[in-house]
């Protein structure tokens, strides 16, 4: 469907604003989503503080030309949307949440790349970043790792005390 020039300027401004302010952006191929699935994706992303915006690829490329991140632009084929970090949350949230949704609807959604720390990343890099757990999970794993030897020592000392009594 054709859009008028004013609407294109408005979309281009929104895209430029997204690329200027977002800490990370994921390019999402969403060609086979039903309306219900698209609404579920938007709702899930919004709960995690991630914005979601659909635009024509030509407008995305024009907005990217003004921002000029480092590296080579990923190949954007099919219908493309942007998942971007809109809050002060985890920088990996856009790629992680889209990746989780892509596992649920493998034929309809795919992560095709993104922008992370001012650099373009390809599909493989985006998927590897998506595999990193959230900060809270990493902290919990670290605390468990540090606490484990102390716990084991306490159990051993308790067993020694039980045998002597």
Taking the domains of the chain in order of start, what are their residue ranges? 5-132, 133-165
pLDDT digits (tens, 9 = 90+) for 3-24: 788 898 999 999 999 888 888 8
Contacts with 90 (C-beta within 8 Å, 6 or more apart), sequence order: 96, 134, 135
Predicted confidence (pLDDT) at residue 2 exceeds the cutoff of 90: no
| Contact of 139 with 90, CB cutoff 8 Å | no
| Predicted local distance difference test score (pLDDT) of residue 1 | 57
pLDDT digits (tens, 9 = 90+) for 117-165: 888 888 888 888 888 888 888 888 888 888 888 888 888 888 888 887 6
Crossing angle of helices 123-130 and 93-104, rounded to 10°: 90
Predicted confidence (pLDDT) at residue 82 exceeds the cutoff of 90: yes
Predicted confidence (pLDDT) at residue 53 exceeds the cutoff of 90: yes
pLDDT digits (tens, 9 = 90+) for 95-106: 888 888 888 887
Length of the chain: 165
5-132 to CATH, choices 2.60.40.10, 3.40.1390.10, 3.30.70.1730, 3.40.50.720: 3.30.70.1730
Contacts with 81 (C-beta within 8 Å, 6 or more apart), sequence order: 27, 28, 30, 52, 53, 54, 55
pLDDT digits (tens, 9 = 90+) for 20-49: 888 889 999 988 888 888 899 899 889 888
């Amino acid at each position: 469907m054709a859009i008028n020039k004013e609407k294109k300027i408005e979309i281009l401004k929104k895209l430029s604003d997204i690329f200027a302010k977002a800490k990370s952006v994921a390019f999402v191929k969403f060609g086979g989503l039903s309306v219900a699935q698209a609404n579920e994706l938007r709702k899930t992303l919004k709960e995690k503080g991630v914005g979601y915006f659909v635009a024509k690829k030509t407008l995305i490329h024009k907005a990217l030309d003004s921002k000029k991140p480092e590296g080579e632009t990923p190949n954007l084929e099919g219908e493309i949307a942007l998942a971007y970090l809109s809050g002060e949350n985890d920088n990996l949230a856009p790629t992680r949440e889209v990746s989780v949704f892509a596992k649920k609807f493998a034929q309809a959604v795919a992560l095709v790349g993104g922008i992370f720390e001012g650099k373009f990343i390809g599909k493989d890099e985006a998927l590897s970043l998506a595999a990193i757990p959230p900060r809270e999970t990493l902290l919990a794993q670290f605390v468990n790792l540090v606490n484990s030897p102390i716990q084991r020592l306490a159990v051993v000392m308790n067993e020694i005390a039980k045998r002597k009594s």
